[in-house]
Amino acid sequence: NENIYILGIETSCDDTSAAVLKGRKVLTNIVSSQKIHANWGGVVPELASRAHHQSIVPVVDLALRQAGIDKYQLSAIAYTRGPGLMGSLLVGATFARAMGLGLGIPVIPVHHMEAHILAHFIDDPDMHSPEFPFLCLTVSGGHTQLVLVNGFLDMKVIGQTTDDAAGEAFDKIAKILGLPYPGGPLIDKLAQHGNPHAFRFARPEVPGFDYSFSGLKTSVLYTLEKFQKEDPDFIKKHLNDISASVQQAIVDTLLKKVKLALDETKCKHLAVAGGVSANSGLRKALSSLAESMGVSLYVPKPSYCTDNGAMIAIAGYYYYTSDTMRTSFLNPVARWQV
Ligand code: KG4
Ligand code: ZN
């Protein structure tokens, strides 16, 4: 399997990315992040698809050149089928399909959230990757899920958000604070200099392993509106404390259900995936929870947490080498359950 070369293409949201894998080893992983959305407070779908359209050829070309391989050496092309923005998905899917047709090799449709989880098996799979079964907290801009992972291609969602995703909560609250998109990483930075107990924002309750974040956003909005009326510079003056308290509320909410799920499933292995797993407060909280529960914790490299082509390629690798070989083109879908 060391002679399998997979090209992975990711275009589900606002990053155009292509990676080349030799077996499970990453030869190259190119990510072109679209700067165009920063001033809009969120991803503008129409602008995103246009930017993917402009970047896809140079990004794939650079990935192949950096990997030092010829395109005729490729065994297969994996692409993100969904979930994501339809216009963005169409660019990557159509490109992959055409390239696969041209080269006469299979194209492999990949589930974006499955790929976030499989990012744990990139590069050094037998050394540091989670043992099955493990519980995975998948937290991104579009999703927040608790997934029971029984095998590479055997996953079951046991809980998910009923409204906003955790990353969406970070980004929407950042917008309230006047920060540019994506605000998650900025809140993380500011929070490191603030007091997480300065403000007590709401932590909405939902049953089972599910999540809810929209109440937190409203609670931040109403609380700050009140203070801003008294002092128009309130947010500016207390940005670090507000950020730290927001992050604390999101981390507390995430951790509560992780703990519940670990208790009920008796899973001894815990993993985290998706863009928000880059958050330093979440990483710290998860590692102390894991330690106190005698559970081992697995956190991917930050570059494999946020959207990237390597995770699509590794998912493609498992499909390519499995008995159920899913290797024919499927039309992109905006919504798709794991
Ligand atoms: O997985 P990802 O790159 O894209 C999606 O599939 O959505 O996740 C992006 C999300 C954004 O909401 C971004 O604000 C958030 O991940 N994020 C963070 C951090 N880094 C990225 N949120 C909090 N702290 C961070 N350090
Ligand atoms: Zn993602």
Q: What CATH number corresponds to the domain at position 214?
A: 3.30.420.40
Q: Based on the domain organization, do 68 and 171 belong to the same domain?
A: no
151 in a domain, yes or no?
yes
Q: Based on the domain organization, do 165 and 96 belong to the same domain?
A: no
Q: Based on the domain organization, do 230 and 293 belong to the same domain?
A: yes
Q: Determine whether 284 is exposed, middle or buried from the number of CB atoms within 10 Å of its CB (0-12, 13-18, 19+).
A: exposed
Q: Using CA atoms, how far apart are residues 161 and 137, in angstroms rounded to an integer?
A: 12
Ligand 1 centroid to 101 CA: how many Å?
Answer: 34
Q: Based on the domain organization, do 57 and 17 belong to the same domain?
A: yes
| pLDDT tens track for 157-208 | 999 999 999 999 999 999 999 999 899 999 999 999 999 999 999 999 999 9
- How many separate domains does the chain show? 2
Query: How crowded is residue 204: how many other Cβ atoms within 10 Å of its Cβ?
Result: 17
Full residue range of the structural domain in which residue 78 is found = 5-122+304-321
- For residue 127, what pLDDT is reported? 61
Residue nearest ligand 1's atom 22 by CA? 184
Distances (CA, A) of 48 to 55, 56, 85, 195: 11, 12, 9, 36
Q: Based on the domain organization, do 274 and 317 belong to the same domain?
A: no
Secondary structure of residue 75 in the 3-state scheme: coil
- For residue 101, what pLDDT is reported? 97
For a mutational test of ligand 1's pocket, the pick from 32, 138, 170, i.e. the residue with the most ligand atoms closer than 8 A to its C-beta, is 170
Q: Known binding site for Fe cation: residues?
A: 112, 116, 307
326 in a domain, yes or no?
no
Q: Using CA atoms, how far apart are residues 234 and 211, in angstroms rounded to an integer?
A: 30
Look up the pTM and report it: 0.93
Q: Based on the domain organization, do 140 and 168 belong to the same domain?
A: yes
Give the ligand at the shortest distance from the Cα of 278: 1
For a mutational test of ligand 1's pocket, the pick from 145, 248, 272, 276, i.e. the residue with the most ligand atoms closer than 8 A to its C-beta, is 276
Paired tokens of 337: 């359950």
Closest of 286, 285, 306 to residue 296, by C-alpha? 286
Sign of the C-alpha dihedral, residues 24, 267, 326, 52? Answer: negative
Q: Using CA atoms, how far apart are residues 159 and 112, in angstroms rounded to an integer?
A: 17
329 in a domain, yes or no?
no
Q: Based on the domain organization, do 79 and 164 belong to the same domain?
A: no
Sign of the C-alpha dihedral, residues 48, 35, 245, 260? Answer: positive
Residue 170: CB within 6 Å of ligand 1?
yes
Q: Based on the domain organization, do 148 and 259 belong to the same domain?
A: yes
Q: Based on the domain organization, do 155 and 295 belong to the same domain?
A: yes
Q: Based on the domain organization, do 238 and 102 belong to the same domain?
A: no
Q: Based on the domain organization, do 30 and 60 belong to the same domain?
A: yes
Residue 141: CB within 6 Å of ligand 1?
yes
Sign of the C-alpha dihedral, residues 250, 255, 260, 264? Answer: positive
What's the average pLDDT block by block, 10 residues per block, for the chain (338 residues)? 94 95 96 86 89 96 97 97 96 98 97 96 77 96 96 96 97 96 96 98 96 96 96 97 98 98 97 95 97 95 92 96 80 89
Q: Based on the domain organization, do 43 and 113 belong to the same domain?
A: yes
Q: Using CA atoms, how far apart are residues 138 and 273, in angstroms rounded to an integer?
A: 5
Ligand 1 centroid to 305 CA: how many Å?
Answer: 8
Contact 24, 313 (CB under 8 A): no
Ligand 2 centroid to 61 CA: how many Å?
Answer: 23
136 in a domain, yes or no?
yes
How does DSSP assign 240-298, residue by residue? HHHHHHHHHHHHHHHHHHHHHHHHHH--SEEEEESGGGG-HHHHHHHHHHHHHHT-EEE
Contact 241, 194 (CB under 8 A): yes
Interface confidence: ipTM more than 0.95 = yes
107 in a domain, yes or no?
yes
